[in-house]
């Protein structure tokens, strides 16, 4: 259902991204997401430069 909603253009999947990390900081990304209540992380991604 969610994928259909994204494909239909009703939800922008990039909007809920709250934290971005470089690929080499994957440990920081996991740490941030594991403490989501404290860090207010909703969607954490690792980007390839």
The per-residue pLDDT for range 4-47, each reduced to its tens digit, is 998 999 989 888 899 999 999 999 999 999 999 999 999 999 99
User: What pLDDT, on a 0 to 100 scale, did the predictor assign at position 44?
Assistant: 96
User: What pLDDT, on a 0 to 100 scale, did the predictor assign at position 15?
Assistant: 87
- The alpha carbon dihedral of 37, 43, 48, 49 has a sign of negative
Calpha distance 8→2 (Å, rounded)? 10
- Asked whether the predicted pLDDT for residue 49 surpasses 80, the reply is no
User: What pLDDT, on a 0 to 100 scale, did the predictor assign at position 37?
Assistant: 96
DSSP state of 20: E
Under 8 Å between Cβ of 19 and 28:
no
Strand extents, DSSP E, 1-49: 17-22, 43-47
* Whether pTM exceeds 0.85: no
Within the chain, what is the greatest distance between any pair of CA atoms?
Answer: 34
């Amino acid at each position: 259902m969610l994928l259909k909603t994204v494909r239909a253009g009703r939800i922008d999947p990039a909007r809920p991204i709250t934290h971005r990390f470089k690929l080499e900081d994957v440990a920081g990304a996991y740490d941030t997401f594991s403490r989501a209540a404290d860090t207010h992380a909703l969607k954490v991604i690792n980007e390839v430069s």
